[in-house]
Amino acid sequence: DGGITQSPKYLFRKEGQNVTLSCEQNLNHDAMYWYRQDPGQGLRLIYYSQIVNDFQKGDIAEGYSVSREKKESFPLTVTSAQKNPTAFYLCASSTRTSGPTNTGELFFGEGSRLTVL
Amino acid sequence: AQSVTQLGSHVSVSEGALVLLRCNYSSSVPPYLFWYVQYPNQGLQLLLKYTSAATLVKGINGFEAEFKKSETSFHLTKPSAHMSDAAEYFCAVNWGNTPLVFGKGTRLSVIA
């Protein structure tokens, strides 16, 4: 079945450590996204990528990094510079953002919950 | 700035009652609008989407939404709430040149 796989589902980290969240899709989508979700704040965009080897900062990119070396994969690294990393992280994909027939519909993974101890 | 407003962070209804979740958007008429549902500790699932074919859009699980240009609204309704409808609901808008912009979400509780 086509879809988006995020791993791990749950992750615990000590302060000062970097962690990487995995996101893989087999939908043949060009664009991929990372969102952060905190209670009462909705979804906030961290980074997105519309094509391999290119990505753009979202609204809250500070303290995060990404790479897009393959179309199927868009890992997110939460660095030690992120002051409050405990949150639920969601990866999504879509056909390319621009274009007259593209609705921009996002397809989501199941999420990864990061807790900093 | 383009924004999406969901009125009411928490809505509580009795089982069998009407569900109404409100969504308003800013700026000019957007090309596409969406409603997503999220169950605890899961990703978001598409409920329905407006793509300009019809102003009344039917989705999964008995939900529907009506696009009203004059009111810049896209409210979500369901005639009769079921316990399984308890979840968080997000409205999102695509203005065509950026990723989807989401509202802050509305948590729906259904009381037996």
Three-state DSSP at B16 gives coil
Q: Please state, rounded to an integer, the average pLDDT across all residues of chain A.
A: 92
> Is A110's CB within 8 Å of B96's CB?
no
- Residue B97's pLDDT is 67
In the predicted model, is pLDDT for residue B2 greater than 60? yes
Question: B9 to chain A nearest CA, in Å?
Answer: 7
Q: Do A45 and B31 touch (CB under 8 A)?
A: no
Residue A97 confidence (pLDDT): 57
Q: Say how far apart CA B60 and CA A87 lie, in whole Å.
A: 29
Separation CA B109–CA B112 (nearest Å) = 10
**pLDDT for position B29:** 72
Are B88 and B105 within 8 A, CB to CB?
Answer: yes
Write out pLDDT tens, residues A12-59: 999 889 999 999 999 999 999 999 999 888 899 999 999 999 999 999
Q: How close is the nearest chain A Cα to the Cα of B63, in Å? A: 18
Mean pLDDT of B83-97: 91
Of residues A66 and A1, more confidently modeled: A66
Average pLDDT over residues B81-86: 97
Closest CA to B40 of A114, A85, A111, A10: A111
Name the strand (E) or helix (H) holding A44. strand A43-51
Contact A48 B42 (CB under 8 A): no
pLDDT tens, B29-56?
Answer: 777 899 999 998 899 999 999 987 788 9
Nearest CA in chain A to B6: A42
Secondary element (H or E) of residue B93: strand B87-94
Is A109 within 8 Å of B105 when comparing Cβ atoms? no
**What was the pLDDT predicted at A41?**
87
